[in-house]
Amino acid sequence: MKKFASACMLLLLVAFNVHSADEALEEYAYYGFEPEIVTNYIANRKKLGFVRISVELMVKNPDDLMSVERHDPLLRAAIVEILGNQTEDKVKSLSGREEIRRECYEVVNRLLENETGKPLVVNLLFTKYLYD
């Protein structure tokens, strides 16, 4: 009985280590849009409102960076369009910023899937987010 319990424990440990090793082998890479994205949004006042962001795209496979770079203008235009359609209240609130980030992520992934046949982006990050 003791041998059976030991064998089961050993089997569980090996299975856990194999799963952990698979996770450790994942190599993520990041693509940053250069230069930063600067555009206006719908302001509640007479003066135009501007937002300036730095965007990083996280891809699961470093080989996918070439595809992302090739479609940079398409992705940048989509992000600018999304930002330009936002209200001042949404741009300036934390929950609104997260909604904008999520919308950008979904649109970018959909565009890349249309162009490459698969969604390449694991996450979209705003590393700088300034507004006026």
So what's the pLDDT on residue 104? Answer: 98
CA distance 129 to 12: 45
Which of the four pLDDT bands, split at 50, 70 and 90, describes residue 1?
Answer: low
Angle between helices 72-84 and 94-116 (to 10 degrees): 150
So what's the pLDDT on residue 48? Answer: 86
What tens digit of pLDDT does each residue of 39-57 get? 999 888 788 899 999 999 9
Does residue 46 or residue 85 have the better pLDDT?
Answer: 85
Asked if 59 and 28 touch (Cβ cutoff 8 Å), the reply is yes
Whole-prediction pTM = 0.78
Q: What letter would DSSP give residue 89?
A: H
Asked if 119 and 112 touch (Cβ cutoff 8 Å), the reply is yes
121 phi, psi to nearest 5 deg: -90, 130
What is the rounded average pLDDT of the residues 91-113? 97
Q: Residue 107 pLDDT more than 70?
A: yes
Per the DSSP assignment, residues forming a β-bridge with 49 are 41
